Amino acid sequence: MIVFVVNCGSSSIKYQLFDMTDESVLARGLLERVGQSGSVLHHRSNETTHEIEVDAPNHTVGLKIILDTLVDPKIGVLKNIEEIEGVGHRVVHGGEQIRESTLIDENVIKVIKDNASLAPLHNPPNLAGIEAAMSALSNVPQVAVFDTAFLATLPPRAYRYAVPRQWYEKYRVRRYGFHGTSHRYVTLRAAEILGKSVEEVNLITAHLGNGCSMTAVAGGKAIDHSMGLTPLEGLVMGTRSGDIDPAVIFYMARTAGMSLDEIDTTLNKKSGLLGLSGVSNDMRDCVEAAKKGNTDAALAMEVFSYRVAKYIGAYFAILPGCDAIIMTGGIGENSLPIRLRICQLLSNIGVIPDEKRNEEAIRKVGLITADDSKIPVWIIPTNEELMIARDTRDVVKQMAVK
């Protein structure tokens, strides 16, 4: 079965084409600057990357360009677009209504629209991608895979905030969580690696990329998560602050005269590693600057690692046991000093890092702790696109059975 995976941002379309007989990637790419001048398609197939200047005034035209490229006689990989048997869409927010990957129908589209106010930067472009794919591939089943779905199992004590009940009932103010597809993928992989069924695995999964989040997983199900109503809560991120005292917002409005929009932009786009270091939102740049003696960059690394360790400690306390800590995402898969530092900060709960193993596990599965570490720490590269492709295949197969 050939499955086409689409991830639409406000000005971009990321895609991968899978042959699900062996889960191989036939083509992948990124169309940038959708709706702007100078759109560029980066298309990779047959181990070659092609950069093509195109005119993509909107997602519908952009998707048509990508589909035409997939059947292009020179750089394409399909003879006919009808070879595609399922389209999987990454959708950020399914709210409380959607708990698993779902065939897209009018009701699912309504849910995506209803939750747009909770994910204004993501749900509208996700929907634009769905509508574009539905018109270009009208006979092909379209499946929505929601970032929030894996976190739908959080119990009320984890997802409710201690604010007036009406805020939840009327305005749906609660913890939803994000990166669920990544946390689910590494949970399934971890169960395989640990030789357990997913129903019996207890884990702490840390997705550490430009955005960072952590999930406590008990018996294969999410029971707590660090992101909240929005992806701003929790860990320190590239440009997001993560946890702060909410009173900082009123204080900065009243004392520094900042508007709500300015504070929103500052906490989402100018804080985190960038805000602390003054150097960059990229961990690589912070590590390099710290090596050269930049103390702000060194502090950014330390605050980042400390916050991760603190959350791990909290999740360790609430889980019924912890078979492993899993790190993934750009920083989790690559950054040796950060991984080492986090393990060092967890010595009180018996984590013992192994520096040699840490150096070996780069962008691949690997254990980075010593054999006598009380909790093993594993690196597991995430693969959200494959997870979306698998779900799409499964939903399409279930349709055939019905």
Nearest to 353 by CA among 331, 370, 378: 370
Residue 234 · residue 311 · CB < 8 Å: yes
The yes or no reply on residue 268 touching ligand AMP (CB under 6 A) is no
Distance of CA 39 to the CA centre of its chain: 25
Q: CB nearer to ligand AMP: give 132 or 301.
A: 301
For the bound state, the minimum distance from the C-beta of residue 30 to ligand AMP, rounded and expressed in Å, comes to 13
Nearest 5°: CA angle at 40, between 17 and 1? 5
Q: CB nearer to ligand AMP: give 67 or 274.
A: 274
The yes or no reply on residue 330 touching ligand AMP (CB under 6 A) is yes
Instruction: Report d(CA 391, CA 23) in Å as an integer.
Output: 12
Q: CB nearer to ligand AMP: give 281 or 392.
A: 281
Q: What residues form DSSP beta bridges with 53?
A: 40
Q: CB nearer to ligand AMP: give 112 or 204.
A: 204
Residue 123 · residue 112 · CB < 8 Å: yes
Residue 86 · residue 393 · CB < 8 Å: yes
Q: CB nearer to ligand AMP: give 131 or 285.
A: 285
The residues in 194-213 that bind ligand AMP, with binding defined as CB under 6 A, are 209-210
The yes or no reply on residue 128 touching ligand AMP (CB under 6 A) is no
Candidate ranges 148-156, 252-260, 278-286, 371-379; the one touching ligand AMP (CB under 6 A) = 278-286
For the bound state, the minimum distance from the C-beta of residue 13 to ligand AMP, rounded and expressed in Å, comes to 17
Binding ligand AMP (rule: CB under 6 A), the pick from 329, 353, 376, 381 is: 329
Q: Which 3 state secondary structure label does DSSP give 54?
A: strand
> Can 147 be counted among the known catalytic residues?
yes
Instruction: Report d(CA 191, CA 38) in Å as an integer.
Output: 45
Candidate ranges 56-64, 127-135, 288-296, 331-339; the one touching ligand AMP (CB under 6 A) = 331-339
Tell me the backbone φ, ψ of residue 150, rounded to 5 degrees.
-65, -25
Instruction: Report d(CA 42, CA 24) in Å as an integer.
Output: 19
Instruction: Report d(CA 51, CA 42) in Å as an integer.
Output: 5
Catalytic residue among 22, 147, 354, 391: 147
For the bound state, the minimum distance from the C-beta of residue 130 to ligand AMP, rounded and expressed in Å, comes to 23
The yes or no reply on residue 97 touching ligand AMP (CB under 6 A) is no
Candidate ranges 26-34, 79-87, 291-299, 323-331; the one touching ligand AMP (CB under 6 A) = 323-331
Nearest to 7 by CA among 72, 63, 54, 67: 63
The residues in 213-252 that bind ligand AMP, with binding defined as CB under 6 A, are 238
Query: Which chain residues interact with ligand AMP by CB under 6 A?
Result: 209-210, 238, 282-284, 329-331, 334-335
Active site residues: 147
